[in-house]
Amino acid sequence: MALSPLDSINGIFSFIFMAFSLLIGLIILTRFFKYKERIYFLVGATWIFISEPWWPSTISFLVALYNGVGIPSGLYFLIGNIFIPIAIVFWLLAFTEFLYSEKRKLILSIYAIIGTIFEILFFIFLFLNQSLIGELNGPVDVNYKSFIMVFLIIFLLIVVITGFLFANLSLKSKDPEVKLKGKLLIIAYLTFSVGALLDSSIPFSPATIIIIRLLLILSAFCWYGGFLLPKWMKKFLLKSK
């Protein structure tokens, strides 16, 4: 069975976003090995794993180029969800490096309960009744049911709320470079949250897929700038100062 044009566009742009996210995450991770500062490991790993929901559509697209049907639904669900709670752990560890350090154990303990409930229910449904997780629409698209969507929204809210708090810390700085990092992070959280919500809630067309994935790519780019701010980006964005 040949892939439809919509499936092809979806798969191609999922691949672009996934590849770009892996690249951004790895670039940030390399700073950990260079400077031995844990924050680089945490935020690099966060972005790698937070892009996980787009891994299965990419993999299934590539497999479908060979077999026409992609990967089985169970494998699709597993690849797309298993590491999301881990991504949030990495982010909360990074967040509490700077804010609410004295409440780190409490924050992580509360989240551990939420993440554990998600993982237990996910594996129960995965092995007993996958229809409670979702259903595939062709090789590269999925409709998740309320169980997954509720948890994904909770995870997204955790990242966005703590992310704004984190970025606001930078915005209060008098250093223009630090303030610019804060602005870039605000854009990253906004574009990622909007892109992720639209990706899971509106009907796909070639235009909507391209717009949504470009928003997600922009979020990865701003995440990179918000934590590393390379010289070329700093020169371009602060050229008027």
pLDDT digits (tens, 9 = 90+) for 75-107: 999 999 999 999 999 999 999 999 999 999 999
Name the least confident of 18-22, 55-59, 196-200, 210-214.
Answer: 196-200
pLDDT > 90 in the chain, percent: 85
pLDDT at position 236: 87
Mean pLDDT over 34-53 rounds to 95
Residues 175 and 181 sit within 8 Å (Cβ to Cβ): no
DSSP code of 137? S
Q: What is the mean pLDDT of the chain?
A: 93
Q: Which CATH class is domain 5-237?
A: mainly alpha
**pLDDT for residue 191 is more than 80:** yes
Q: Are strands 142-144 and 134-136 parallel, antiparallel or unpaired?
A: antiparallel
**Of the given ranges (11-20, 166-175, 208-217), which has the lowest mean pLDDT?**
166-175
Element (H, E) at 134: strand 134-136
Instruction: Name 217's bridge partners.
Output: none
**What pLDDT is recorded for position 1?**
58
**Contact of 85 with 108, CB cutoff 8 Å:** no
Contact status, residue 200 vs residue 4, Cβ threshold 8 Å: no
How far is it, in rounded angstroms, from Cα 92 to Cα 53? Answer: 19
pLDDT over 60 at 241, yes or no: no
Crossing angle (nearest 10°) for helices 84-95 and 104-128: 170
